Amino acid sequence: MRIAVILGSTRPGRRSEAVAQWVVNVANARTDASFELIDLADVGLPLLDEPVPAIFGEYAHAHTRAWASRIAQYDGFVFVTPEYNHSFSAALKNALDYLYAEWNDKAAGFVGLGGNGGLRAVEQLRLVLAELKVATVRTQVALGRGELQEGLQQDEQLNAMLDELVAWASALRSVRAVAA
């Protein structure tokens, strides 16, 4: 089972970078899945430049094919997303819009950051992921201003979300096998 932790901010000085690393560190103590960080700042996708909608899977550009190949290998995702103006970042929306089938029939969990724990960003992200046929888990981690606190409470909340995510990602493997 492979889960990508997608860091949804590319802003210089972002707090979400430390949060994403915390997610990977806690998650990799588990034995039920492997977790890998994808930092959208390192992916370097330009603004969507594919001439054909992603639903057709006809990717004209090498950067799109590379992104598709990378995302296709995962069973699920943890989106680490700050809240920008009641939503998630344009960089994350752009990365999602590039692909379609590569997201389908997989599971996602969320770690939101912001004044309200990124709750509105996560709610907007859930709507987009539903269109991409991604099953989202109910439990999420909400961090006010992206501040990590010492102690086990945040780790326990993260592990509760990861328990749901791994269970859903595992169940959806059979759905993907039938679709293939």
Dump pLDDT digits (tens) for 158-178. Answer: 999 999 999 999 999 999 998
User: What confidence tens digit (pLDDT) does each residue in 6-22 have?
Assistant: 999 999 999 999 999 99
Residue 104 pLDDT > 80 = yes
> How buried is residue 130: exposed, middle or buried, by Cβ count under 10 Å (0-12/13-18/19+)?
exposed
Global pTM value: 0.96
Instruction: Please name each of the domains of the chain with its CATH number.
Output: 2-179 (3.40.50.360)
Taking the C-alpha atoms of residue 107 and residue 37, their distance in angstroms, rounded to an integer, is 16
